[in-house]
């Protein structure tokens, strides 16, 4: 039996929502990126997404699903499962304007985004900024100015230094798909990436 009489229950005002603590701190979800929704990239937006790795020393390149072009965690998990001798590299190009590199070697994950402002338009770019701890996309008054984000030394041991990668990201005359193909050439995957892209993503 309850220890409260009817008058005491009325005083408790159990139906009121004003003093109810649901255990959720709204500040925990204070994220500048949550203010607006971003639509997933579609097949029409996607130039290509591939994974490159070496198995028994031989280069292997495989096409990846569109879903991985919209979800960094899914892309990382897939790259981690590939049987690469030294990990695997994910290469993604969208609308010939932005490219993404993700390299996974065991527990080590490196990411590179060619243009930080892509976080306003593409889920994968926003995921990368979240992963890097970037709270908001820096504003720029110069539409011709590009600011890459992430680890520009992601491919240094394979022959592409930070200067080279940043130069490709900042060159407006080079479509992002071509920039990635140039990267693939420099790290020894060029012909295999080109063949995969032509077969799986060609018009």
| Cα–Cα nearest to 62, from 50, 70, 44 | 50
Q: What are the tokens at 125?
A: 């770019």
- Predicted local distance difference test score (pLDDT) of residue 2: 43
**Separation CA 99–CA 21 (nearest Å):** 44
**β partners of residue 48:** 93
Q: Which residues contact 1 (CB under 8 A, 6 or more apart)?
A: none
- Predicted local distance difference test score (pLDDT) of residue 85: 84
**Separation CA 170–CA 168 (nearest Å):** 6
Q: What are the tokens at 137?
A: 């996309």
**Separation CA 179–CA 182 (nearest Å):** 5
| Cα–Cα nearest to 125, from 140, 144, 112, 135 | 112
**Separation CA 44–CA 139 (nearest Å):** 27
DSSP code of residue 18: T
| Cα–Cα nearest to 71, from 127, 17, 32, 109 | 127
**Separation CA 42–CA 94 (nearest Å):** 9
pLDDT tens by residue, the chain, 203 residues: 444 444 444 443 434 344 434 333 434 333 445 546 899 999 999 999 999 999 999 999 999 999 999 999 999 999 999 998 889 999 999 999 999 999 999 899 999 999 999 999 999 999 999 999 998 887 665 566 789 999 999 999 999 999 999 999 999 899 999 999 999 999 999 999 999 999 999 86
- What strands, in cross-sheet order, belong to the sheet with 108-113? 58-63, 46-55, 88-94, 98-105, 108-113, 149-150
Element housing 110 (H / E): strand 108-113
Q: What pTM did the predictor assign?
A: 0.81
| Cα–Cα nearest to 100, from 148, 67, 134 | 148
**Separation CA 99–CA 179 (nearest Å):** 8
- Predicted local distance difference test score (pLDDT) of residue 143: 61
């Amino acid at each position: 039996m309850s220890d409260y009489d009817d008058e005491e229950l009325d005083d408790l005002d159990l139906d009121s929502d004003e003093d109810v603590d649901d255990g959720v701190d709204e500040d925990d979800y204070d994220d500048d990126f949550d203010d607006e929704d971003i639509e997933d990239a579609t097949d029409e937006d996607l130039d290509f997404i591939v994974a490159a790795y070496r198995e028994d020393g031989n280069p292997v390149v495989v096409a990846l699903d569109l879903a991985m072009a919209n979800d960094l965690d899914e892309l990382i998990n897939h790259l981690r499962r590939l049987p690469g001798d030294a990990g695997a590299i994910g290469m993604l190009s969208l609308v010939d304007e932005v490219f993404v590199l993700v390299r996974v070697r065991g527990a080590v994950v490196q990411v590179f985004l060619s243009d930080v402002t892509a976080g306003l338009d593409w889920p994968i770019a926003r995921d990368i900024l979240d992963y890097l701890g970037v709270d908001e996309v820096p504003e720029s008054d110069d539409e011709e100015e590009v600011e890459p984000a992430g680890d520009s030394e992601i491919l240094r041991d394979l022959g592409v230094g930070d200067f080279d990668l940043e130069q490709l990201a900042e060159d407006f005359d080079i479509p992002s798909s071509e920039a990635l193909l140039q990267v693939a050439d420099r790290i020894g995957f060029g012909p295999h990436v080109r063949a995969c892209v032509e077969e799986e993503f060609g018009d």
